[in-house]
Amino acid sequence: MKKLLVSILCILMFGCTSSKEEAAHTPLGITPYTICAEAVCDENEKCMSGAYIQEDMPYNEIDSFEKEIQAENDIYIYYIKKGEDFPMSFVVNCYAKGKTPMLVLNEENEYEQVHSIAEICASLDLPVYIELDYNDDTDRYNSHSSIFKGYAPKADIIYGFDADREGCAIPEAAERIAINAFESMSNGTIDSEYENIQRLCSMYKDMPIMLNIAVPVFTDDKCNYAIEEACNEIENIYSLVAEKSNIIAINYISISRQKDGRRAYSSRLSESRQIMDTYGKVVSAIPEARYYNDTHCMGYAIGDAVLVTDNTALLTDAEDNNTQYSNLKRLTDYTVDRERKRIYLGKGEKR
């Protein structure tokens, strides 16, 4: 019944208005919140979240990391170096925690190593993402991707390239791509890849896209920290999930980068409590951003209660109880995002 009411609200969302009498009884000085109704979402439209956390001491274990950010990821990432053995303990730990592992290879990984990794993936016979960052070497990509497709059919192969490139010839064999946006800083300001990401998502609008992002929090240029700017940049990039339906995953790469033997940039989440909190917030917001639509109806978060007008109450699961406002009723099935001023209907819990 609740889902039916939410569906009716979606259909009538553009016709939801309040009468003059109701407006007169609207709480003065209380900020209205936008009512959001659940949208019909195809399985293929869902967006996953992931992270590379190997450098994020002491939060480089899945449990401790997710406890710290108060959110859950779907994917965890491992970069395999040239000549390195298959990271079996990492992969098994991902499966044990209900996560999908993602292994990243680059042009330094030789055929023999790739062949060995593919054979082990085949023996595990479980889903795994394999990202091949081979730049413009399409011949190498085609050769190595065919190895995985031949040995490990449950491996999803991804063609990766950098966001700052004008364009990239995508191999015909590529079924999905990864855009790597590892940002830097100039004069203490973040060199944003937001517009490049947006452009590439539109350019390859018919392909499933993974975003791998790293936002600098620190630069060795005068030991500058840009925490506020980094938080804003993370929020901006993650907001693209709602705008671009072909983004199937967004992964945060929590790393430090070296230059001339010393740390030049740090994009590690653990650099700041504020960065960790921001990351947890944007990961938690992905389902709301992707699977809920704003309506023209409004509600009011007053203390622990959420109140709506009589017109909105007709379309939602609202209690028929008395409040100090003659035309407002209390919602019973919702969650509230006080920061974004949104009320999400039918989510089965109160917050």
Contacts 24+ apart (CB under 8 A), 57-66: 57/270, 58/270, 59/269, 59/270, 62/93, 62/94, 62/97, 62/99, 63/97
pLDDT single digits (tens) 283-313: 998 876 667 778 888 888 888 788 888 778 8
| Number of alpha helices (DSSP H) and beta strands (DSSP E) in the chain | 10, 21
Q: Give the mean model confidence (pLDDT) for residues 153-171.
A: 86
Tell me the residue type at 297: C
Q: Do the beta carbons of residue 270 and residue 254 sit within 8 Å?
A: yes
DSSP state of 53: -
The pLDDT value given to residue 347: 65
Domain termination site, one of 245, 268, 290: 290
Check whether residue 27 and residue 93 sit in a common domain. no
9 and 123, same domain (yes or no): no
151 and 245 within one domain: yes
283, part of any domain: yes
Examine the domain organization and report whether 242 and 326 are in the same domain: no
Residue 98: CATH number of its domain: 3.20.20.80
Query: Residue 15's pLDDT band (boundaries 50, 70, 90)?
Result: very low
Look at the block and give the residue holding tokens 């085949």: 122
> Residue 263 domain-assigned?
yes
When the pLDDT of each residue in the chain is averaged and rounded to a whole number, the result is 84
| Non-local CB neighbours of 82 within 8 Å, separated by 6+ positions | 108, 109, 110, 113
Residue 99 and residue 82 in one domain:
yes
The verdict on 27 and 113 lying in the same domain is no
Name the residue range of residue 252's domain.
Answer: 45-290
Amino acid at site 195: E
**What total of structural domains would you count in the chain?**
2
The residue with greater pLDDT, 45 or 87, is: 87
Contact 337, 285 (CB under 8 A): yes
Q: Are both 112 and 67 inside the same structural domain?
A: yes
Within a domain: residue 351?
Answer: no
Contact predicate 275/227, CB 8 Å: yes
278 is a domain residue: yes
Same structural domain, 80 and 192: yes
Are 57 and 156 within one domain? yes
User: Is residue 178 included in any domain, yes or no?
Assistant: yes
